[in-house]
Amino acid sequence: MNETLNKLLLAALHDDSIKSELLATREANDPSAAFCACATRLGYPVTVGELFGMGEEFNATMLRSVNGGGVEGPDGWDDAYDMFFAALI
C-alpha cells in the first residue's frame, strides 16, 4: 500500500466511524469506486486506477526481488483493495 492508504488504514484502526464507513463500501455495486470516493471524502484521495496500480506495482516489485525473477506472484497480492481490508479487519 502507498502512504495515503497507510494513513487511511491507521485512521480507520483508531476511529470506528471511519472503519465502519470503509467497510460499508464493500456492499456497493462498485466497491472499488465507493471505497475511493469514501477515502477521498475523508481526506485520503485515491482513484480506482491508483488503487489497481498499487497492487500491480507491489506484485511486480516482489517478483523482481527474486533472484532470477519470479514467474508468478502469490494469488491476491496484486490486489491493494483486498490487502487493505485484510489489514483493517
Distance, in Å, from the CA atom of 51 to the CA atom of 19, rounded to the nearest integer, reads: 18
Q: What is the CA radius of gyration of the chain?
A: 14
pLDDT digit string, tens, across residues 7-39 = 999 999 999 999 999 999 999 999 999 999 999
**Amino acid type, 10:** L
- The domain limits of the chain are 3-88
Long-range contacts of 54-59 (CB under 8 A, 24+ apart): 54/1, 54/2, 54/5, 54/80, 55/79, 55/80, 55/81, 55/83, 58/1
How do residues 50-86 score in pLDDT, each as one tens digit? 887 776 665 566 666 556 555 665 554 557 788 888 8
CA 28 vs. chain centroid, Å, equals 16
